[in-house]
């Protein structure tokens, strides 16, 4: 029997092996109970406060708030989380717990444009794994790959009718072939609509009897 790499699956989770830094102060709510406040960009503060006002309990605004902070900072950095914590009156830990739970909230720095390639069953039955590999390869070979692109295998994106597909900064495109990859990346770089003819938004219902 071949030996399984013994620790291969061990430290895949960032954080498991990290101790607390005893020189740091405890992370309490910034700006409350004597702990120092953190500066928050005015627009971010306004956006978070507007979200908080929408709900009977402002705690509900954690996701919109973190999403807003991620748009501003590029990811849910410790700094971003502290800013949200300061505005919402929560501990940064409460927000980190939320941020690490959801796939779309990035807790490591990532490239500017997200390219989620769906690799769930229907898409992989249609070749998503090869598509993902092709996108990853193209990006890793590009000089601007790491800064411009955040390529991720993603769970079912709810567009199995256009499998294999990807979500580019939220825009669904598919079905994609390997040949589409260069154009896809070029469109992203150029800030153009990505693969306009393959966008889900333009697709008619598959049911031929619909619209009756």
Partner 1 sequence: MPRPEPKTITFTIDGLEVQAPENVMLVDAAKHGDVEIPVFCYEPKLGNPVGACRMCLVEIEGIGKLQTGCSTPVKDGMVVHTQTERVKIAQQAVVEFLLINHPLDCPVCDKGGECPLQDITFGWGPGHSRFIEPKRHFVKPLELSPTIAIDRERCILCYRCARFSQEISEDHQLVLLERGAHSYISTFDGHPYVAPFSGNIVELCPVGALTSLPYRFRARPWDVEDAGSVCTLCPSQCNVTLTVRDDRVLRVLARQNDEVDDGWLCDRGRFAYPALGGDERITEPLIRDGGELRPVSWERALEAAASGLKRAGERTGAIAGGQATGEEGFLLARLLREGLGSPHLDSRRAGTLPLELHRALSDPALQAKISDLEFAHSVLVLDADPIEDMPILDLRLRKGVRRHDMKLLEASSEDLPALRELALSLGQHGEDVVILWHERLTAGPNGPAATQALLEIAASLSMSEVPGAGLLEIPAGSNGRGLREAGVLPNAGPGLCELDDAPGRDARGIAEALIAGELAALYLLQSDPLEELPERDLWEQALERASTVVAHASFLTDGLRAHADVVFPSEAYAEKEGTVVHPDGRLQRLRPAVARPGKFGSTLAGWQVLAKVASRLDLDLGVLTGSMASQQLFDAVPFYAGLTLEEIGGRGVRWQERETAVTS
Partner 2 sequence: MSDKLLFKDIDEPGLNTLAVYRRRGGYEALRQALQLAPEDVLKQLEASGLRGRGGAGFAMGKKVSFLPKGSMDKYLVCNADESEPGTFKDRELMQKSPHMLLEGIVIASYAAGANRSFIYIRGEYVLQADVLDAALAEAREAGYIGEQILGSEHSLSLVVHRGAGAYICGEETGLLDSLEGKRGNPRLKPPFPANQGLYQGPTLINNVETLSTVPTIMRMGGEEYAKLGVQTSTGTKLVSISGQVRRPGNYEIELGIPSREIIFGLAGGPLEGRQIKCWFPGGSSAPVLTAEDLDVPYDFDSLAKAGSMLGSGAIIVVDDSTPIVELAIKLAKFYRHESCGKCTPCREGTNWTVEMLERIDSGEATPMDLDIMASVQEHIIGNCLCVLGDAMAMPIGSMIAKFRPEFEAHIESARARADLNPAHPAGHTAGHQAGASEQALAAQGAPGA
* Contacting positions for partner 1 (CB under 8 A): 4, 6-7, 9-13, 15-22, 24-29, 78, 81, 90-97, 100-101
Helical axes 92-99 vs 62-73, angle rounded to 10°? 80
Sole window of 26-34, 142-150, 174-182, 185-193 interacting with partner 2 (rule: CB under 8 A): 174-182
The site partner of 212 among partner 2, partner 1, none (C-beta below 5 to 8 Å per kind) is partner 2
Beta strands 149-154; 166-168: pairing state: unpaired
Size of the site for partner 2 (CB under 8 A): 66
| Cβ contact 175:203 at 8 Å | no
For residue 156, the minimal CB distance to partner 2 (Å) is 4
DSSP state of 199: B
For residue 54, the minimal CB distance to partner 1 (Å) is 23
Nearest to partner 2 of 40, 76 (CB atom): 76
Which residues in 43-102 contact partner 2 (CB under 8 A)? 54-57, 59-64, 66-67, 97-98, 101-102
The site partner of 92 among partner 2, partner 1, none (C-beta below 5 to 8 Å per kind) is partner 1
For residue 119, the minimal CB distance to partner 1 (Å) is 17
Q: How far is CA 59 from CA 27, 64, 79, 91, 95, in A?
A: 18, 10, 19, 12, 10
Give alpha helix (H) positions in the chain. 42-53, 62-73, 78-88, 92-99, 121-125, 128-141, 145-148, 181-190
């Amino acid at each position: 029997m071949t030996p399984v790499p013994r620790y291969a699956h061990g430290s895949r989770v960032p954080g498991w092996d990290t101790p607390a830094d005893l020189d740091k102060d405890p992370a309490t709510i910034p700006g409350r109970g004597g702990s120092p406040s953190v500066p928050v960009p005015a627009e971010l503060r306004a956006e978070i406060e507007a979200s908080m006002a929408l709900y009977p309990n402002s705690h509900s605004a954690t996701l919109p708030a973190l999403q807003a902070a991620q748009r501003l900072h590029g990811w849910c950095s410790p700094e971003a989380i502290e800013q949200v914590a300061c505005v919402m009156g929560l501990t940064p830990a409460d927000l980190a717990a939320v941020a690490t739970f959801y796939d779309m909230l990035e807790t490591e720095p990532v490239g500017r444009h997200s390219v989620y390639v769906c690799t769930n069953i229907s898409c992989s039955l249609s070749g998503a794994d090869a598509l993902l590999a092709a996108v990853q390869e193209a990006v890793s070979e590009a000089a601007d790959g790491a800064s411009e692109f955040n390529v991720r295998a993603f769970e079912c994106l709810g567009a199995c009718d256009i499998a294999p597909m990807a979500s580019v900064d939220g825009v669904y495109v598919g079905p994609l072939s390997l040949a589409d990859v260069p154009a896809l990346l070029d469109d992203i770089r150029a800030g153009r609509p990505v693969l306009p003819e393959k966008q889900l938004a333009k697709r008619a219902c598959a049911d031929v009897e619909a619209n009756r």
